[in-house]
Structure 1
Amino acid sequence: MRKIYLLAALLLILGCRDEEVGAELPTNEVSYAVTEISFKPELNASVSDEIVLDYDGMQTFTAAIPYEVSIENLIASITLSSDGGFIQLDGSAFQNEVTAHNFGKEVELEVFNSDQSNSWNYTIRLTYFTGLPILNINTDNIPVDSRDMYVNGTLNLFGGLNYDDIDNSAIQIRGRGNSTWFLHPKKPFQIKFESKTNILGMPEDRKWVLLAEYSDKTMLRNKLTYEMGAMSSLDYTPTGEYIELFLNNTHQGTYLLAQKAEESSNRVQIGDDGYLIEIDQQQRVDPDDVFFTPTIFTQEYNSNVFNIKAPNIGYGSPEFELIENHINNFESVLFGPDFTDPDAGYRAFVDLDSFVDWFLINEIAKTVDAKWYSSIYFTYIPGEKIKMGPLWDFDLSYGNVDYADSQYVDGFWVKDNLWISRMFEDPYFQALVEERFDYYYNSLGYFNQFIDDTSSYLNSAQEFNYGIWQSLGVYVWPNPVYYDTYEEEVTHLKQWLSARLNWLAQEF
């Protein structure tokens, strides 16, 4: 019986083998893998030396493309592992070494076999120039040499891999700033579109500022503070993105294109009857500005004014008298005998969360102007409380000033602000500050990573920027220290911030 079973099994195996032998075997599929992509000078007039793309071994080809190359009109040479493949770029047929294509954005490359029954997919990501968006402003060579007079111009933005382009947009441009305008060769600007415009992913608006970041050789201090503000309870903090600026085809270096600190539906929101106030120096206000001088504050700081940035009102108007009276009443209570009373004291006038966060961010950064001098913003909507913010102007912060004690990591600075120092006499306010400080102190690792990531992003840009301005390793007002390399400047910022937070941790 056992022999019969063995014989049957043998016959079954042989039968299966016969079926396999008789079956049609699949043919080997021909591979059409991409082995190389390049841009050759003989095919591209703007290419001086052949550019061969790097391959990550998976599906992405990358390269850095010089500024003089016409990245939006290039003819590629694509080598396949086998002849006969059919190529598409961004879904359109591509004839190798013939078809010009726009490589300014991420390009999807797909290779099909001869009957298009199979395909291989790749991505081409080219970094143009420094990798930052490129802003070209043309004024027909009319110089932009005034903070008061706009010059008409045309703006083109190459957004690169991450942002949308803007083509031939009519704008106006003028200078901006105070010390940054008068003391430094790399000038800051303000631009104004004809209508509200979305740029670099930021909410649409008409006015934008181009911060030169000349005295801040890390070019990080404003951006770092914007990040802190975004983490805070402040209603609004400006944001900005780095760009390469070309003015009348001349490279001006790396700028931070940022939102302007102003009333707007996408910026400081104060409704129909609210106020945006900037504490500033009287010598710096414009002739058309409307301001007032609170009795108590200006007894201490007699050169300061409270400049009404919004709304547009006149002296003696009901709106003017309302805000002037409200601030005077607030100060009278703040410096009155019952100021700590939860209901009748200063707390009835102010949004404590915004005051605490505004103070801590400025004290951490030891912002020289925030003690009393300028760029101190707050809002007031009738029927609501006074709120601090937005944050503004941090290039002379984090130790980057040589004419004040705010350069040192130890010691308080903004705590001596007239309003803040009085609030610290209230144990309730001090307790809020101490509790909230832990939030920022525990974020030091995040801040350091943000500095590392952002400085790495700027690495190529800073080389071109300092190639133009030659400001590394030399004194630039008001640097207390300066270093020969960008990396050393960044390291100093990180060390200063860490030491500053550690000193404050001992106090709070």
Structure 2
Amino acid sequence: MMFSNSSKNQISPEKCEEIGLSVMHIDTMAGKKINSKINYVTAMYEAEEFSGSCKIRGHGNTTWQTRELYKRPYLLKLNKSAPLFGMKQSKKWILMANTADKTSLRNEYAYFLARNVWNRMKWTPDARFAAVFINGKFNGLYQVTEKVEHEKLSLPEGSFLATVNSRLNKEWNFRTQRGTKISIRMEQKSEAEYKKMEQIIQNAEDVIFSPDFKSAEKGWQSVIDEDSFVDWYLINEFTKNHDAKFQASCYFYY
């Protein structure tokens, strides 16, 4: 949703509800501004029948630094888990601003394809659109989205979640021998455990770039699940996802 200042000021929760749009209210302590990706701001939230205390901070990288500062993405952390807007119960939620996409539909389109067309991936985040009011003022149309976390994938013991991350700013980060920047998205592990995960990823890269990479037994099919990779590739191609170029936000699991 794009609005001029004059029209934006005329949007009320009642008008949003009249047209069938869900509404979320977030009121920070003493009206404090949310201007950090690191430090949380204490707040209260209300989303349909659920309400309570929470914390909120900035989220994203390029999207957080966008020139459209009137509408930034946020990470909302509830003090108590809640199934917001009919989704599964969770404490952490991403408020996606979608400012780079004036239709606000590309991410939802990708999720739709992942659930209904190319649906052989382990997990797809659920999301709902909502009009977000911060400290009583309309902030814009947001996509309230499940946060990507290891626990939600229901992976067996010994598995782990990782992401291509050019910023190398997570708990454990490394570069593969070919320079791909990886963050392992597992917290509170020992150095030995992180090193073991790092070696698994490095071994996969070695196989992909080996002379035997076409071999059914020793090649790429021995380290990559073909069905889920093809689905991931096609969805990113159809939605023209710039993050798919292996710079950031490319999640995978072992």
TM-score (norm 1): 0.45
Distance 1:345-1:68 versus aligned 2 partners, 3 A rule = closer
Q: Does 1:220 align with 2:105?
A: yes
Provide the C-alpha distance between the structure 1 equivalents of 2:223 and 2:158, rounded to a whole number of angstroms: 17
Partner residue of 1:250 out of 137, 156, 169: 137
Provide the C-alpha distance between the structure 1 equivalents of 2:172 and 2:181, rounded to a whole number of angstroms: 10
- What stretches of structure 2 of length at least 5 have no aligned partner? 1-10
**What is the match of residue 20 of structure 2?**
131
Provide the C-alpha distance between the structure 1 equivalents of 2:164 and 2:95, rounded to a whole number of angstroms: 22
Following superposition, the deviation at residue 338 of structure 1 comes to 1.8
**SS state of the match for residue 153, structure 2?**
coil
Provide the C-alpha distance between the structure 2 equivalents of 1:239 and 1:341, rounded to a whole number of angstroms: 37
Q: How many residues align?
A: 239
**What is the match of residue 332 of structure 1?**
206
Partner residue of 1:259 out of 115, 128, 146: 146
Provide the C-alpha distance between the structure 1 equivalents of 2:187 and 2:157, rounded to a whole number of angstroms: 9
Contact 1:276 1:311 in 2 (8 A): no
RMSD between superposed Cα atoms in Å: 1.9
Provide the C-alpha distance between the structure 2 equivalents of 1:67 and 1:209, rounded to a whole number of angstroms: 23
Provide the C-alpha distance between the structure 2 equivalents of 1:340 and 1:251, rounded to a whole number of angstroms: 54
Identity of aligned residues (%): 30
Q: Does 1:372 align with 2:246?
A: yes
**SS state of the match for residue 247, structure 2?**
coil
Provide the C-alpha distance between the structure 2 equivalents of 1:332 and 1:128, rounded to a whole number of angstroms: 54
Higher mean C-alpha deviation, range 238-247 or range 329-338: 329-338
Cα deviations across residues 162-188 of structure 1 (Å, max 9, x unaligned)?
xxx113x11100111112111222111
Following superposition, the deviation at residue 216 of structure 1 comes to 0.8
**SS state of the match for residue 328, structure 1?**
helix
Contact 2:126 2:145 in 1 (8 A): yes
**What is the match of residue 149 of structure 1?**
39
Provide the C-alpha distance between the structure 1 equivalents of 2:250 and 2:193, rounded to a whole number of angstroms: 21
Provide the C-alpha distance between the structure 1 equivalents of 2:13 and 2:215, rounded to a whole number of angstroms: 67
**Higher RCO structure, 1 or 2 (CA under 8 Å, sep 6+):** 2
TM-score (norm 2): 0.87
Following superposition, the deviation at residue 271 of structure 1 comes to 3.2
Following superposition, the deviation at residue 215 of structure 1 comes to 2.0
One-letter code aligned to 1:170? S
Q: Does 1:312 align with 2:188?
A: yes
**What is the match of residue 115 of structure 2?**
230
Following superposition, the deviation at residue 68 of structure 1 comes to 7.1
**SS state of the match for residue 171, structure 1?**
strand
Contact 1:291 1:308 in 2 (8 A): yes
Provide the C-alpha distance between the structure 1 equivalents of 2:110 and 2:186, rounded to a whole number of angstroms: 24
Partner residue of 1:166 out of 34, 45, 50: 50
- What stretches of structure 1 of length at least 5 have no aligned partner? 1-65, 72-126, 159-164, 299-303, 381-508
Provide the C-alpha distance between the structure 1 equivalents of 2:232 and 2:244, rounded to a whole number of angstroms: 10
Following superposition, the deviation at residue 292 of structure 1 comes to 1.8
Q: Which has the larger radius of gyration?
A: 1
**What is the match of residue 78 of structure 2?**
193
Provide the C-alpha distance between the structure 1 equivalents of 2:237 and 2:188, rounded to a whole number of angstroms: 32
Contact 2:93 2:145 in 1 (8 A): yes
Distance 1:128-1:326 versus aligned 2 partners, 3 A rule = closer
Following superposition, the deviation at residue 371 of structure 1 comes to 1.6
Provide the C-alpha distance between the structure 1 equivalents of 2:246 and 2:238, rounded to a whole number of angstroms: 16
Q: Does 1:241 align with 2:128?
A: yes
Contact 1:270 1:276 in 2 (8 A): no
One-letter code aligned to 1:377? Y
Provide the C-alpha distance between the structure 1 equivalents of 2:204 and 2:13, rounded to a whole number of angstroms: 59
Contact 2:13 2:23 in 1 (8 A): no
**SS state of the match for residue 147, structure 1?**
coil
